[in-house]
């Protein structure tokens, strides 16, 4: 698409769902002359080599960032501070350093103090993902029409911000800029609280008296299975999210609990009017999400339904 690639060398620290998807999309769109990566385990590094998507797979983060114009940490939020410390002395002057973490306040607090003044720090969060993880889970289309939020600290070089914006646009994303604190509040409700609730209810169903686990699995199509998908997300990533965005999550949780009490009271009192009014309002919100293209309009998420007379695969 571009006459010359936007970056000569991109270094990805970590090659899971997000790192692997960035590599695939960036290569497909010709956004870099070279892409190198590291992965924490020897097994992952071997697998990434086999996949043949990147130009080099290195053992240490320090080696990987050498001469890179763009360094992206694609690792759990809790690991970002230590990696920033590790790579700081090896960064090329003028390099853009970014990440993909789901929490931004903590990432800025943990990383910024370690980075040299000669590097441009532009934290980022692509709001996209699936329940899968590991080197094989990524795909080039993951970011298309999803949002990527940049949270550059005050005083960041506008040119560096613009180059990263253009990079994410090249991966197919729509880009928005906001402060780290506002990001953390918005994501607390749109992502962190939903995950916490899903993790809770799936756990609840796992240890009931009177209903067996096999019954829970069998009859999950009644609604439960929609929760299990997000409760299957990477446990380390999500542990870190809740440890690092504690305040905003607890605040949203407080509001959620109040609202749940209200609906519980309506059920206890048999107040059908209050229930109907609430359920009608939430239906409109779904419509809004489909209208702005943030979800499939196909019923049941477009889940496959086999034809009659044939069995589903």
Instruction: Report, in Å, the least distance between residue 193 CB and a copy of itself.
Output: 7
Residue among 91 and 241 whose Cβ is closer to a copy of itself: 241
CA quadruple 4, 10, 15, 18: dihedral positive or negative?
Answer: negative
80 touches a copy of itself by CB under 8 A? no
3-state secondary structure 48-87: HHHHCCCCEEECCHHHHHCCCCEEEECCCHHHHHHHHHHH
Among 46, 166, 169, 250, binds a copy of itself (CB under 8 A): 250
Positions 186 through 245 that interact with a copy of itself (CB under 8 A): 186-187, 189-206, 208, 210-211, 213, 215-233, 235-236, 238-240, 242-243
Q: Coil, strand or helix: which one is 194?
A: helix
Could you tell me how far CA 285 lies from the centroid of its own chain? 22
Among 50, 59, 162, 295, binds a copy of itself (CB under 8 A): 295
Residue among 97 and 202 whose Cβ is closer to a copy of itself: 202
129 touches a copy of itself by CB under 8 A? yes
Tell me the window of 51-59, 105-113, 159-167, 291-299 that interacts with a copy of itself (CB under 8 A). Answer: 291-299
280 touches a copy of itself by CB under 8 A? yes
- Residue 263 and residue 278: Cα distance in Å, rounded? 9
Tally of CA atoms within 13 A in the half-sphere of 23 that contains its CB: 30
193-206 vs 235-244: helix crossing angle, rounded to 10: 120
In which residue are the tokens 């350093």 written? 97
Instruction: Report, in Å, the least distance between residue 247 CB and a copy of itself.
Output: 10
In which residue are the tokens 């911000």 written? 161
Neighbours of 248 (CB within 10 A): 21
Positions 24 through 63 that interact with a copy of itself (CB under 8 A): 25, 28-29
Instruction: Report, in Å, the least distance between residue 33 CB and a copy of itself.
Output: 19
Element (H, E) at 32: strand 32-38
Whether 120 contacts 157, CB under 8 Å: yes
Residues 6+ apart with CB under 8 A from 109: none
Pairing of strands 70-73, 96-99: parallel
Residue among 36 and 202 whose Cβ is closer to a copy of itself: 202
265 touches a copy of itself by CB under 8 A? no
Instruction: Report, in Å, the least distance between residue 167 CB and a copy of itself.
Output: 13
Residue among 62 and 81 whose Cβ is closer to a copy of itself: 81
**Eight-state DSSP code of residue 306:** P
Residue among 32 and 249 whose Cβ is closer to a copy of itself: 249
Site size toward a copy of itself (CB under 8 A) is: 126
Positions 85 through 124 that interact with a copy of itself (CB under 8 A): 102
Residue among 97 and 248 whose Cβ is closer to a copy of itself: 248
12 touches a copy of itself by CB under 8 A? no
């Amino acid at each position: 698409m571009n006459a010359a690639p936007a970056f000569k060398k991109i270094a990805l620290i970590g090659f899971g769902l997000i790192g692997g998807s960035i590599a695939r999309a960036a290569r497909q769109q010709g956004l870099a002359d070279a892409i190198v990566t590291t992965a924490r385990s020897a097994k992952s590094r071997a697998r990434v080599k086999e996949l043949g998507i990147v130009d080099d797979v290195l053992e240490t983060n320090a080696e990987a960032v050498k001469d890179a114009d763009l360094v992206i940490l694609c690792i759990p939020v809790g690991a970002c501070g230590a990696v920033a410390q590790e790579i700081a002395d090896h960064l090329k002057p003028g390099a853009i350093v970014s990440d993909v973490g789901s929490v931004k306040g903590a990432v800025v607090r943990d990383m910024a103090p370690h980075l040299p003044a000669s590097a441009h720090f532009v934290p980022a969060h692509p709001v996209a993902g699936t329940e899968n993880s590991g080197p094989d889970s990524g795909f080039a289309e993951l970011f298309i029409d999803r949002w990527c939020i940049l949270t550059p600290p005050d005083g960041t070089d506008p040119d560096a911000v613009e180059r990263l914006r253009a990079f994410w646009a090249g991966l197919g994303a729509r880009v928005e800029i906001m402060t780290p604190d506002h990001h953390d509040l918005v994501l607390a409700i749109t992502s962190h609280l939903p995950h916490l609730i899903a993790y809770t209810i799936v756990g609840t169903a796992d240890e009931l008296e009177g209903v067996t686990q096999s019954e829970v699995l069998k009859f999950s199509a009644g609604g439960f299975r929609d929760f299990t998908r997000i409760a299957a997300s990477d446990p380390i990533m999500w542990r870190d999210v809740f440890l690092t965005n504690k305040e905003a999550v607890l605040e949203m949780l407080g509001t959620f609990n109040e609202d749940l009490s209200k609906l519980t009271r309506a059920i206890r009192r048999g107040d059908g009017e209050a229930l109907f009014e609430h359920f009608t309002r939430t239906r409109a919100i779904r419509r809004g999400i489909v209208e702005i293209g943030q979800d499939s309009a196909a019923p049941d998420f477009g889940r496959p339904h086999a034809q009659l007379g044939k069995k589903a695969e």
